[in-house]
Amino acid sequence: MKENLPALVTLLAVLLMFGTAFAVGRARGRYQVHAPATSGHPAFERAFRVQMNTLEAALLFLPTLWLAAHYGFAFWAGIAGLVWLAARTWYALAYLQEAARRGGGFVLGMTAWAATLLMALTGLGRALLAG
């Protein structure tokens, strides 16, 4: 079943999104930022940005992952997905500490996404040429 690795990556990405949402909820309590406010303490704001940026990144990554998988790159897109997961976890943990430390994980995550995008474009281009 060639889709098992992309499926595993997708479930782990969902759990990563859940983890970043959980961190926001905990920061709401710890820093007394009551809903619906989304500002008021720098540590809360970092947690909130981590959640939103993780969600934005997943919206770029997951559709690309599945298109790459559909067009013949299920294994390599899955490997890129594991790299992406590691990068985005690094990004989240570093950014929660300090905004300035978010660069490395961000760049690695974008690189893994770009690799998957290249696979999807290659596969789709081949399919379009084959008619």
Candidates 55, 24, 54, 51; CA nearest to 40 is 24
Specify the 3-state DSSP secondary structure of 87: helix
Q: H helices then E strands: how many in the chain? A: 4, 0
The residue within the footprint of a second copy, chosen from 23, 71, 91, 94 (CB under 8 A), is: 71
Interface pattern 36-55 for a second copy (x via CB under 8 A): xxx---x--xx-xx-x---x
State the minimum distance, in angstroms, from the CB of residue 86 to a second copy: 19
- Dihedral of the alpha carbons of 101, 105, 111, 113, in degrees to the nearest 10: -130
Chain residues binding a second copy by CB under 8 A are 1, 3-4, 7-8, 10-11, 13-14, 17-18, 21, 34-38, 42, 45-46, 48-49, 51, 55-56, 58-60, 62-64, 67, 70-71, 99, 102, 117, 120-121, 124, 127-128
